[in-house]
Amino acid sequence: MRKNFGARPYLYPQPVLIVAAYGEDGIPNAMNAAWGGIIESDKIAMCLGHRHKTVKNILEKGAFTVSMGTVSTVVSCDYVGIVSGNDEPNKLEKSGFTVTKSEFVDAPVINELPMCLECKLVSYNEENSQLIGEIINVNADEGILTDGVIDSQKLQAISYDPVNHYYLKIGEAAGHAFEEGQKIK
C-alpha cells in the first residue's frame, strides 16, 4: 500500500542555498532558498519571491552568490531564512555571517560558508518567481579540499526536509555514480 499526499513541493534532497547580494548602498544581504538546482552546465535556477530584499538586490546589481548551508552554520542559515532585510537592515551582521567581495562578480562571498557559486543574473520572471543565473566561478575554502578537490564529507552540507521542516546532514557515499550500474548493464 502507498499513501497519496496530493500536489505538494516534496522532494528529497532539497538544498539549503544561501543566496547573497549587495544592495545599492553596498550593504550585503542573504536569504535561504530550498527551491533551486542546476539546469545547465553553467546555469542555476531558483524560485525566489520578488518581495525578498535579496531579489531586489540581485535585480539592482545583476549578480549574486549561492553558498551551501552547512552543519556548523545551521543557526545563521535558518536566521537568514526567517528574517527579511526589508525589516532588519543589519540582518547579515546579526546572522553572524561576514563577507568578502567576490573576485568575479559584484556580490558578497560569505566567509563562513566554505563553498560558493559566483553568478551573474541571466533572467528573472516576477510572475513565476523564476530566477536564472550563470555560474561564473565556483570557489571553495582549502579546508574542505582533499587532493585539491571539493570533499563533500568535509563540506558537511545540509539539506532541507520539506515535510518535517528539519535540516538534515548529508550522509556518506552510497556508491559510485556512473559505475554501480555497470554491474547489471
Q: Report the distance separating Cα 35 and Cα 130, nearest Å.
A: 10
- Residue 170 binds ligand FMN (CB under 6 A): no
* Burial class for 59, CB neighbours closer than 10 Å (0-12, 13-18, 19+): middle
* Residue number with CB closer to ligand FMN (32 or 102): 32
Residue choice 83, 122, 150, 168 for contact with ligand FMN (CB under 6 A): 83
Stretch near ligand FMN under the rule CB under 6 A, chosen from 26-34, 102-110, 111-119, 140-148: 26-34
Local structure of residue 89 (DSSP, 8 states): T
Using Cβ positions, the residue closest to ligand FMN within the complex turns out to be 81
Tell which residue, 102, 167, 166, 89, has the closest CA to residue 139. Answer: 102
- Residue 73 binds ligand FMN (CB under 6 A): no
Q: Are 151 and 96 in contact (CB under 8 A)?
A: no
Residue choice 15, 22, 28, 32 for contact with ligand FMN (CB under 6 A): 32
